[in-house]
Amino acid sequence: MKDNIVISENSDSSLVLRNIEQKDQNMLRQWKNKNRDYFFFKDEINAEMQQIWFEKYLNDSNNFLFAVEYNMTLIGCMGFKVTPEGADVYNIILGNDSFAKSGIMSKAMKIMCSYILEIGIDKVFLKVLQSNKIAYEWYLKNSFSKKYSSEDYHFLELDMKNFDRCKIDIVCKNA
């Protein structure tokens, strides 16, 4: 089982990243299905598939998926998997459209990347579909740079020279 992790910027506790929980599963599934055209896995996810994924997630110590909460309201999610190469970022979803263009997800990404560096991982990367131009541009604005492109996706890496790491508070409780 996973430890309960809660991360915030130490100067502002209004934005919090916390481990996803059972109570989040229906919302996460809805968000993923709504945005499935922008992800590598494009099939619709049903409740049973979500639950199977969640149970595997709980037992995978290298997989981190955070609920993004702003003023105690769930607005999105983001995560990463620890690999031999570094941290592979995935499932960046703004689920609550009323927070679009607010900068909150950018701040959440900065907090998550700061956490990744804090736990000793020095390479942060991701793949974004070529067709997902909005996400691609968003990553570039958030200190990622393109390393290469394939037929289907761009491979981006966090540019440490341009990344402004923030000071974070981490609360970790054993489950």
The Cα–Cα gap between 83 and 78 comes to 17
Would you give per-residue pLDDT tens digits along the chain (175 residues)? Answer: 677 889 999 878 899 999 998 898 877 777 776 665 656 555 676 888 778 888 999 999 999 999 999 999 999 999 999 999 999 999 898 888 878 888 899 999 999 999 999 999 999 999 999 999 999 999 999 999 999 999 999 999 999 999 999 999 988 866 5
Please check whether residue 4 is in contact with residue 19, taking contact to mean a CB–CB distance below 8 angstroms: yes
Task: Tell me the domains of the chain and their CATH numbers.
Answer: 4-173 (3.40.630.30)
